[in-house]
Amino acid sequence: MRAIPPPLIDGKKLADEAQALLAKMKTRLSASIALQDLQRREALICLSDSWMCHPTGRDEPPIGLRDPDGRQISAPINWRWTLWAAPDTAFPDDAFVVLVETAERLAPFLPAERMPDVPTPTGGAPGGTSGPAELGIPVEWARKIRN
Protein backbone atom coordinates (compact mmCIF):
# COMPACT_ATOMS: atom_id res chain seq x y z
CA MET A 1 0.00 0.00 0.00
CA ARG A 2 1.44 3.35 -1.07
CA ALA A 3 1.73 6.06 1.57
CA ILE A 4 -0.47 9.05 0.84
CA PRO A 5 0.18 12.60 1.97
CA PRO A 6 -1.55 13.30 5.29
CA PRO A 7 -4.48 15.68 5.55
CA LEU A 8 -3.92 19.07 7.12
CA ILE A 9 -6.17 20.04 10.00
CA ASP A 10 -6.05 23.65 11.16
CA GLY A 11 -2.82 24.00 9.17
CA LYS A 12 -1.09 21.04 10.88
CA LYS A 13 -0.37 17.54 9.65
CA LEU A 14 -2.66 14.92 11.19
CA ALA A 15 -0.75 12.84 13.75
CA ASP A 16 0.84 9.62 12.48
CA GLU A 17 -1.17 7.54 14.96
CA ALA A 18 -4.44 9.06 13.72
CA GLN A 19 -3.39 8.43 10.11
CA ALA A 20 -2.67 4.80 10.99
CA LEU A 21 -6.13 4.44 12.58
CA LEU A 22 -7.79 5.83 9.45
CA ALA A 23 -5.70 3.67 7.09
CA LYS A 24 -6.52 0.55 9.10
CA MET A 25 -10.26 1.36 9.08
CA LYS A 26 -10.20 2.21 5.34
CA THR A 27 -8.57 -1.14 4.56
CA ARG A 28 -10.75 -3.14 6.98
CA LEU A 29 -13.98 -1.69 5.58
CA SER A 30 -12.77 -1.45 1.98
CA ALA A 31 -14.25 2.03 1.87
CA SER A 32 -13.77 5.67 1.01
CA ILE A 33 -13.57 7.76 4.17
CA ALA A 34 -14.00 11.37 5.23
CA LEU A 35 -13.42 13.58 8.23
CA GLN A 36 -16.19 16.17 8.24
CA ASP A 37 -15.47 19.45 10.02
CA LEU A 38 -18.89 20.71 11.11
CA GLN A 39 -17.49 24.03 12.32
CA ARG A 40 -15.85 24.94 9.01
CA ARG A 41 -18.46 23.10 6.93
CA GLU A 42 -15.92 21.19 4.92
CA ALA A 43 -14.77 17.61 4.63
CA LEU A 44 -11.38 15.99 4.19
CA ILE A 45 -12.11 13.07 1.87
CA CYS A 46 -9.87 10.10 1.05
CA LEU A 47 -11.29 8.27 -1.95
CA SER A 48 -8.33 6.21 -3.14
CA ASP A 49 -4.79 7.51 -2.80
CA SER A 50 -5.12 11.15 -1.85
CA TRP A 51 -6.95 13.51 0.48
CA MET A 52 -9.03 16.37 -0.87
CA CYS A 53 -10.95 19.12 0.88
CA HIS A 54 -14.46 20.00 -0.23
CA PRO A 55 -17.23 22.22 1.20
CA THR A 56 -20.09 20.27 2.73
CA GLY A 57 -23.39 21.02 4.40
CA ARG A 58 -23.72 20.39 8.12
CA ASP A 59 -26.34 17.65 7.71
CA GLU A 60 -25.11 16.17 4.42
CA PRO A 61 -22.73 13.34 3.65
CA PRO A 62 -19.53 14.73 2.15
CA ILE A 63 -19.30 14.94 -1.65
CA GLY A 64 -17.78 11.72 -2.97
CA LEU A 65 -19.34 9.65 -0.19
CA ARG A 66 -22.90 10.11 -1.35
CA ASP A 67 -23.60 6.49 -2.16
CA PRO A 68 -26.70 6.29 -4.37
CA ASP A 69 -27.82 3.26 -2.37
CA GLY A 70 -27.49 5.19 0.90
CA ARG A 71 -24.91 2.81 2.32
CA GLN A 72 -22.62 5.46 3.81
CA ILE A 73 -22.32 5.44 7.59
CA SER A 74 -21.07 8.02 10.07
CA ALA A 75 -20.14 8.42 13.72
CA PRO A 76 -19.42 11.57 15.73
CA ILE A 77 -15.84 12.05 16.89
CA ASN A 78 -16.54 15.17 18.98
CA TRP A 79 -18.86 18.17 18.60
CA ARG A 80 -16.80 19.47 15.67
CA TRP A 81 -15.87 16.31 13.73
CA THR A 82 -17.74 13.37 12.18
CA LEU A 83 -16.16 10.27 10.63
CA TRP A 84 -17.78 8.92 7.44
CA ALA A 85 -17.31 5.78 5.36
CA ALA A 86 -18.85 4.62 2.07
CA PRO A 87 -18.21 1.05 0.86
CA ASP A 88 -16.33 0.31 -2.34
CA THR A 89 -18.61 -2.73 -2.81
CA ALA A 90 -20.29 -3.82 0.43
CA PHE A 91 -19.55 -3.29 4.11
CA PRO A 92 -18.64 -6.20 6.39
CA ASP A 93 -21.23 -7.03 9.08
CA ASP A 94 -19.28 -5.22 11.81
CA ALA A 95 -18.67 -2.03 9.80
CA PHE A 96 -20.55 0.29 12.13
CA VAL A 97 -18.74 -1.09 15.20
CA VAL A 98 -15.38 -0.57 13.47
CA LEU A 99 -16.37 2.99 12.50
CA VAL A 100 -17.54 3.93 16.02
CA GLU A 101 -14.43 2.48 17.67
CA THR A 102 -12.19 4.35 15.23
CA ALA A 103 -14.10 7.60 15.85
CA GLU A 104 -13.63 7.21 19.61
CA ARG A 105 -9.90 6.59 19.19
CA LEU A 106 -9.53 9.61 16.87
CA ALA A 107 -11.03 12.08 19.36
CA PRO A 108 -7.72 13.00 21.08
CA PHE A 109 -6.14 13.86 17.70
CA LEU A 110 -8.82 16.15 16.26
CA PRO A 111 -9.14 19.66 17.62
CA ALA A 112 -12.37 20.78 19.17
CA GLU A 113 -12.14 23.87 21.23
CA ARG A 114 -14.79 24.10 23.91
CA MET A 115 -18.33 24.05 22.60
CA PRO A 116 -19.29 27.45 21.17
CA ASP A 117 -21.53 29.51 23.40
CA VAL A 118 -25.19 29.48 22.48
CA PRO A 119 -26.55 33.02 22.47
CA THR A 120 -29.16 33.62 25.15
CA PRO A 121 -32.13 35.90 24.56
CA THR A 122 -31.93 39.28 26.23
CA GLY A 123 -34.92 40.34 28.27
CA GLY A 124 -38.23 38.48 28.42
CA ALA A 125 -38.68 34.77 28.61
CA PRO A 126 -36.49 32.39 26.61
CA GLY A 127 -37.89 31.93 23.13
CA GLY A 128 -39.51 35.37 22.93
CA THR A 129 -43.15 36.22 23.21
CA SER A 130 -46.11 34.88 21.31
CA GLY A 131 -46.95 38.32 19.95
CA PRO A 132 -50.19 40.26 20.17
CA ALA A 133 -53.43 38.31 19.90
CA GLU A 134 -54.68 40.40 17.00
CA LEU A 135 -52.08 38.75 14.77
CA GLY A 136 -53.71 35.33 15.23
CA ILE A 137 -56.28 33.77 12.90
CA PRO A 138 -59.83 34.82 13.80
CA VAL A 139 -62.00 31.96 15.04
CA GLU A 140 -64.77 32.98 12.62
CA TRP A 141 -62.40 32.50 9.67
CA ALA A 142 -61.41 29.00 10.79
CA ARG A 143 -65.11 28.05 11.26
CA LYS A 144 -66.02 29.27 7.76
CA ILE A 145 -63.49 26.94 6.17
CA ARG A 146 -65.04 23.87 7.83
CA ASN A 147 -68.58 24.70 6.70
What's the pLDDT band for 61 if we cut at 50, 70, 90? confident
Per-residue pLDDT, 58? 81
Per-residue pLDDT, 114? 65
Mean pLDDT of 30-42: 92
pTM of the model: 0.72
Per-residue pLDDT, 1? 35
The percent of residues in the chain predicted with pLDDT above 70, rounded, is 71
Mean pLDDT of 66-78: 84
Q: Is the pLDDT of residue 128 over 70?
A: no
Domain ranges of the chain: 8-109
Per-residue pLDDT, 101? 98
Neighbour-count burial for 25-61, b at 16+ CB within 10 Å, e otherwise:
bbeebebbbbbbbbeeeebbbbeeeebeeeebeeeeb
Residue 78 CA to chain centroid, in angstroms? 10
